[in-house]
Amino acid sequence: MPKMKYPVFLIILSFSFLYINAEDGHKLWLRNEYSNQVNVVVKKESEILDIAKQELKNNWRGENGAVIKLVLKKDKRIQDDGFILNPDEIRANTELGILYGAFELLRKQQTQQKIEEKVFNPSYQLRLLNHWDNLNGSVERGYAGSSIFWNKDEDDLTVTEKDIKLWSEYARANASIGINGTVINNVNASPRVLKKESLERIKVIADVLRPYGIQVFLSINFASPAIIGGLETSDPLNKNVIDWWKEKAKEIYKIIPDFGGFLVKASSEGQPGPHDFGRSHVDGANMLAGAVEPFGGIIMWRAFVYSAKEDDRAEQAYAEFFPFDGQFRDNVIIQVKNGPIDFMPREPFSPLFGAMKKTPLMPELQITQEYLGHSIHLVFLSTMWEEFLNSDTYQEGEGSTVAKCTDGSIFEQKTAIAGVANIGKDINWCGHHFAQSNWYAFGRLAWDNQLTSEQIADEWIKLTFNPDVKSKTSFSKDWKENFLKPVKSMMLESREAAVNYMMPLGLHHIFQAHHHYGPGPWWELPGVRKDWTNPYYHRADSMGVGFNRTVTGTNAVAQYHEPLRSQFGDLKSCPEKYILWFHHVPWDHKMKSGKILWDEMCYRYDDGVSQVRQFQVIWDKIHPYVDADRFEAVQRKLRDQAKNAQVWKDACLLYFQTFSKKVIPFDIERPIHNLDDLKKDDMDKA
């Protein structure tokens, strides 16, 4: 028998060490396990203040034995649940302000930022997540497991200790980044959510989330009065319907006194709405607003609408809502997707931002990566949102950014922002360890819409991958240079890489229709309405490619203020990142790089593939700096992403080549797939 090289006890010890240091990602960015002693002084006691006090005691990295005062005192510099931070004091007007201040102080300590006196006020009053969770536990466009709120059997409304623990962890994570509201069910809502037995479960959820300052909201089905109320109609101007909603609101607020209100998807994608009864969005929204107004509730009415027309779908939200500017009740806020189509990898901002001056608008961002590789692709979305928020609408002249149009800087109004959540029951919450950064980034930008993506990425990496989480010191020069710097670079480049290998130069809506994951520029079936097919959007032919939205096309550019209208409408001045969004461009059109359009497309797709392969190199090099579990999990995802990027490149270039009749430049990598095979695979899945 061969002699063992190492004693058995050393082998066991080694495996134990690996197990202890294993990371499953469940702790998110809240991994601190080291704390100095701190004396927290606060005169008042409450659930919220007790949480703030405990967070400071459990996670303090300041001077050992320090004293930190929590001061509740009115200060004109502080707005809403904002706070003033000092090295030894957190001052706020509200208890929630104290809690947010505690998390901010700890974040600065743990990321080794200097702490000086500063006022921290939220950009938006309401910062909420939209969960597209169904009452059967499934999650629409969710890629991280089943719902954290609903059981797989929709008749099973029991609540377990495990549920309460998970909801508490969820609430803490949200509070740590300033999120203060959550819609816990799908916008394609089941009427059953308003039944008494469902409301009793929602009450428990609300009770768990409340100490962390999170209000519960519900998505509703507009036809609920007829479906579960026994009425003959759901016409918003019918007295019986109006009374039904008023009684339902009373019932809800009796069970959940701090209920936030309703999110409504109506007259869109087959969902019932006021148009079914010849009524307007104003009629529907104002009726519901009247029901919740006595209780302080709000109505978030989604502007994601399009009908079965052959007109330009990008124009429809503006066309349906702008004429009603100023006619909505004060407790109605219109929720508008960042772009005019549907969460594409890159879109110009929706022209509704900058158009409506008398009606508050709230941006709707998508944290879950419906069109950006699901939970497989590493795509840091903060750069997309930063681009959107900093886009100038020219609503009140130069500098009227989307951020300023929505956060009350230009017009005094109710302010809110929503993110479609990427959260599920996967142990790491989001399906991909790096997808956690998008949940984090949404919360941070919702609190401060002037933060940069570089700042957010720096924070998140330090909090999530701190190598010395159990010790007093951290962030060595070696770690910063060989882990922080390359990983941050990868994150900041990742969204542009995805645009390159998916839909560069303003291309959009060329995904596989059945799951929105892979490429499908060919996707078109007999009998399917044109605005649901992909050739409708890219309009490739022998002359060129792209959707003409100029004055010679649909004239969608007219919905933007000058100088954008002229800039977007002129092929010479249109930013190349939007050129195929606004123009049908000849294949031989000379781009700024000097290349013709066809060659530029080829190089962009090739760049995207090369970028993802470089991400693999970066990640492989950081192996010594991260735990084995997360290293291997991300490594596997990156392999899949690289393969997927190659499929996107091959599918799109081979398909568009059938129109351009041009050669793929010889200095880029050759396609490795056959177009017929890719199309057949897509149709087989469909």
The encoded tokens of residue 387 equal: 């681009």
- The pLDDT, as a whole number, for residue 388 is 98
Percent of the chain with pLDDT over 90: 91
Shared domain for 164 and 76, answered yes or no, is: no
Number of Cβ within 10 Å of residue 43's Cβ equals 9
- Asked if residue 79 is part of any domain, the answer here is yes
309 — pLDDT class (breaks 50, 70, 90): low
Shared domain for 95 and 219, answered yes or no, is: no
Shared domain for 243 and 160, answered yes or no, is: yes
Residue 658 has pLDDT above 70, yes or no: yes
473 — pLDDT class (breaks 50, 70, 90): low
Please name which of 271, 283, 274, 228 lies closest in space to residue 251, comparing C-alpha atoms. 228
The dihedrals phi and psi of 170, each to the nearest 5 degrees, come to -60, -45
Place of tokens 């950009």: 123
Residue 447 has pLDDT above 50, yes or no: yes
From 370, 387, 392, 599, the catalytic residue: 370
- For residues 581 and 509, give the distance between their C-alpha atoms in angstroms, rounded to a whole number: 10
How many DSSP H helices and E strands does the chain contain?
Answer: 21, 15
Residue type, 29: W
Helix ranges (H only) for 65-211 are: 95-110, 161-176, 196-209
Percent of the chain with pLDDT over 70: 95
- Asked if residue 603 is part of any domain, the answer here is yes
* β-bridge pairing 585-586 and 544-545: antiparallel
Shared domain for 104 and 138, answered yes or no, is: no
310 — pLDDT class (breaks 50, 70, 90): low
Q: Are 595 and 603 in contact (CB under 8 A)?
A: yes
- Residues 482-518 have pLDDT tens digits of 999 999 999 999 999 999 999 999 999 999 988 999 9
Shared domain for 111 and 133, answered yes or no, is: no
Shared domain for 138 and 111, answered yes or no, is: no
The encoded tokens of residue 393 equal: 């609408």
The dihedrals phi and psi of 666, each to the nearest 5 degrees, come to -75, -15
Count: domains in the chain: 3
Please name which of 131, 181, 216, 125 lies closest in space to residue 447, comparing C-alpha atoms. 125
Averaged pLDDT, 37-55: 97
173 three-class SS:
helix
Place of tokens 């002249």: 397
pTM here? 0.96
The encoded tokens of residue 73 equal: 């005192």
- Asked if residue 462 is part of any domain, the answer here is no
H/E run at residue 654:
helix 628-660
* β-bridge pairing 83-86 and 89-92: antiparallel
Find the length of the chain: 686
- Asked if residue 198 is part of any domain, the answer here is yes
Shared domain for 192 and 108, answered yes or no, is: no
Residues 6+ apart with CB under 8 A from 411: 357, 358, 405
Shared domain for 344 and 406, answered yes or no, is: yes
- For residues 121 and 84, give the distance between their C-alpha atoms in angstroms, rounded to a whole number: 9
Place of tokens 């706070």: 83
The encoded tokens of residue 166 equal: 């998970």
- Asked if residue 185 is part of any domain, the answer here is yes
**Structural domain of 310:** 126-456
The dihedrals phi and psi of 513, each to the nearest 5 degrees, come to -65, -25
- The pLDDT, as a whole number, for residue 1 is 40
- For residues 662 and 658, give the distance between their C-alpha atoms in angstroms, rounded to a whole number: 8
Place of tokens 């050739």: 535
Residue 328 has pLDDT above 50, yes or no: yes
- Asked if residue 468 is part of any domain, the answer here is no
Strand partners, 91: 71, 84
The last residue of one of the domains, among 456, 490, 507, is 456
- Residues 339-364 have pLDDT tens digits of 999 999 999 999 999 999 999 999 99
Q: Determine whether 342 is an active site residue.
A: yes
Q: What is the CA 393 to chain-centroid distance, rounded?
A: 21
685 — pLDDT class (breaks 50, 70, 90): confident
Place of tokens 């720096």: 458
Residues 6+ apart with CB under 8 A from 218: 183, 184, 185, 189, 193, 194, 202, 252, 259, 262, 263
H/E run at residue 13:
helix 8-20
Specify the CATH number for the domain of residue 233: 3.20.20.80
DSSP conformation class of 626: S
Angle (deg, nearest 10), helices 382-389 and 436-447? 30
Please name which of 557, 612, 593, 614 lies closest in space to residue 665, comparing C-alpha atoms. 593
Burial label, 555 (beta-carbon count in 10 A; 0-12, 13-18, 19+): middle
Shared domain for 590 and 665, answered yes or no, is: yes
Residues 6+ apart with CB under 8 A from 497: 379, 607, 608, 611, 612, 615, 645
| DSSP state string for 328-357 | S-TTEEEEEESSSSSS-SS-PPPTTTTT-S
Residues 6+ apart with CB under 8 A from 89: 68, 69, 70, 71
- For residues 148 and 139, give the distance between their C-alpha atoms in angstroms, rounded to a whole number: 10
Quick one: residue 397, left, alpha or beta (phi over 0 = left, psi -120 to 50 = alpha)?
left
Q: Determine whether 370 is an active site residue.
A: yes
Residues 6+ apart with CB under 8 A from 169: 26
Radius of gyration from C-alpha coordinates of the chain? 26
SS (H, E, C) 289-333: HHHHHHHCCEEEEECCCCCCCCCCHHHHHHHHHHHHCCCCCCCEE
- Residues 213-236 have pLDDT tens digits of 999 999 999 999 999 999 999 999
Q: Measured in Å, how far apart are the chain's first and last C-alpha atoms?
A: 58
Specify the CATH number for the domain of residue 662: 3.90.1330.10
**Is the bond leading into 563 cis (omega within 30 degrees of zero)?**
yes
- The pLDDT, as a whole number, for residue 471 is 65
- The pLDDT, as a whole number, for residue 19 is 37
Shared domain for 154 and 111, answered yes or no, is: no
DSSP conformation class of 481: I
- For residues 201 and 256, give the distance between their C-alpha atoms in angstroms, rounded to a whole number: 11
Shared domain for 295 and 416, answered yes or no, is: yes
- Residues 608-656 have pLDDT tens digits of 999 999 999 999 999 999 999 999 999 999 999 999 999 999 999 999 9
- Asked if residue 461 is part of any domain, the answer here is no
Averaged pLDDT, 398-409: 98
Residue 182 has pLDDT above 60, yes or no: yes
- Residues 513-540 have pLDDT tens digits of 889 999 999 998 777 777 779 999 999 9
From 169, 342, 454, 607, the catalytic residue: 342
- For residues 285 and 262, give the distance between their C-alpha atoms in angstroms, rounded to a whole number: 10
- The pLDDT, as a whole number, for residue 308 is 55
The dihedrals phi and psi of 119, each to the nearest 5 degrees, come to -90, 130
Q: What is the mean pLDDT of the chain?
A: 94
From 269, 468, 632, 640, the catalytic residue: 269
Q: Which sign, positive or negative, has the C-alpha torsion 158, 164, 165, 167?
A: positive
- Asked if residue 312 is part of any domain, the answer here is yes
Please name which of 225, 247, 251 lies closest in space to residue 236, comparing C-alpha atoms. 225
The last residue of one of the domains, among 61, 84, 117, is 117
Residue 368 has pLDDT above 60, yes or no: yes
Residue 17 has pLDDT above 60, yes or no: no
Shared domain for 46 and 180, answered yes or no, is: no
Specify the CATH number for the domain of residue 58: 3.30.379.10
11 — pLDDT class (breaks 50, 70, 90): very low
DSSP conformation class of 663: P
Residues 6+ apart with CB under 8 A from 549: 312, 314, 555, 556, 557, 568, 581, 582, 583
Strands (E), 45-197: 66-72, 83-86, 89-92, 118-120, 126-130, 181-183
Place of tokens 């059109």: 589
Longest dimension (CA), the chain: 90
Angle (deg, nearest 10), helices 436-447 and 161-176? 50
